[in-house]
Amino acid sequence: MKSILKQITENQDHTGDSERSRRSFIRKAAMGGIAIGSFMNMPVEETLEQMTSKVQRASRPSELKITDMRVAVINDSGRKPIIRLDTNQGIYGLGEVRDGADERYALMLKSRLLGLNPCNIEMLFRIIKQFGYHGRQGGGVSAVEMALWDLCGKAYGVPVWQLLGGR
């Protein structure tokens, strides 16, 4: 028990901002949970297993498949259709049908996307871009592309701006 408390006090950073960082907080909270578990005479292994059982682990993006596409229309200062791409792992991506386009332009792409991996955005965009060349039809293609990027970011656990090469 004393060794755990000693680790908590020794691992504290005294470098200003890093002491208040999220990572430092999580580390201290985890060590505190282990210490409480040892007070209750629970083995450390059981305590760690219980602490991490509810953590969402990274999915396998290589096994993702698009299973469905749905539309919801928001009538807030105008008509805004939002599409939702669902996958076999419960991850979903959202995209807005832009430029006053009808949601049917996005829904007509559903048959071309079902069963494919949403993280292969370049290949999927090559498939669907041919349907967005005229007027407002591009709104459906852009909605699908937004949803694909959103889905991919969720699958890899990183923001979309990083996937696009930001910073």
Facing residues of 75 across strands? 79
Confidence of residue 145 (pLDDT cuts 50, 70, 90): very high
Q: What is the DSSP letter of 119?
A: T
Nearest C-alpha neighbor of 66 from the set 123, 137, 105, 129: 123
What is the predicted pLDDT for the residue at 40? Answer: 62
Task: Give the residue with greater pLDDT, 140 vs 10.
Answer: 140
Nearest C-alpha neighbor of 145 from the set 133, 129, 156: 129
Separation between Cα atoms, residue 164 and residue 36, nearest integer Å? 43
pTM of the full structure = 0.62
Q: pLDDT at residue 15 above 80?
A: no
Class level of CATH domain 61-160: alpha beta
In the chain, CATH 3.30.390.10 covers 61-160
Nearest C-alpha neighbor of 120 from the set 95, 82, 156: 156
**60-64, 71-75, 83-87: least confident range:** 60-64
CB-based burial label for 167 (10 Å; 0-12, 13-18, 19+): exposed
pLDDT tens, position by position, 37-51 = 555 666 666 666 666
Helix axes 121-128, 137-156, angle to 10 degrees: 170
